[in-house]
Amino acid sequence: MCHNGHCERGYPERGWIQFLILRLLFEKPSHGYQLLEDIERKSCGCHKLEPGSIYTILRRMEEKGLLESWWEETDSGPHKRVYKVTEKGVIMLSRGLQMMIRRKALMDDLVEFYKIHFEKKGGEK
């Protein structure tokens, strides 16, 4: 997911952050702070959410029925709220990824068109 080490730092767009969260939680249930680290890692450090933002997103996703959560006791420190994808969340993830695949095919076609018609050594038309 890293691209030549170049990125613009900022907040991930709302449109895909939920899909990334669903994907990560589909792989394994997790708590919010771990998700913050996983999002930053998956984006090669390009996107970093604030703790308050991730918990707001998780709460809204849970209210929509995309996630479920429970409190996990720890031996040291405070209890952690662990999140897991629901069946409804899996369906949304699958449909969203199908949509992204179709959009990627369109983007690939447009890139190929650009390369054929506009890309030249030494500059553009």
Task: Give the residue, 76 or 9, on which the prediction is more confident.
Answer: 76
Chain segment 88-118, per-residue pLDDT in tens: 999 999 999 999 899 999 999 999 999 999 9
Is residue 60, in this structure, part of any structural domain at all? yes
Q: Which residues pair with 83 in a beta bridge?
A: 30, 69
In a domain, 20, yes or no: yes
Look at residue 55 and tell me if it is in a domain.
Answer: yes
DSSP 12: P
CATH of the domain at 107: 1.10.10.10
The answer to whether the beta carbons of residues 119 and 66 sit under 8 Å apart is no
Whole-model pTM: value is 0.77
Asked if 35 and 54 touch (Cβ cutoff 8 Å), the reply is: yes
pLDDT, one tens digit per residue, over 31-86 is 999 999 999 998 888 778 888 899 999 999 999 999 999 999 888 888 999 999 99
Whether 18 is covered by a domain: the verdict is yes
Domain count, the chain: 1
Q: Give the C-alpha separation, 114 to 95, whole Å.
A: 29
For Cα atoms 1, 12, 37, give the angle at the middle one, nearest 5 degrees: 65
Rg of the Cα atoms in the chain? 18
Query: How far is the C-alpha of 125 from the C-alpha of 122, rounded, in Å?
Result: 10
| Domain range enclosing 23 | 14-124
Q: Is residue 3 in some structural domain?
A: no
81 domain residue, yes or no:
yes
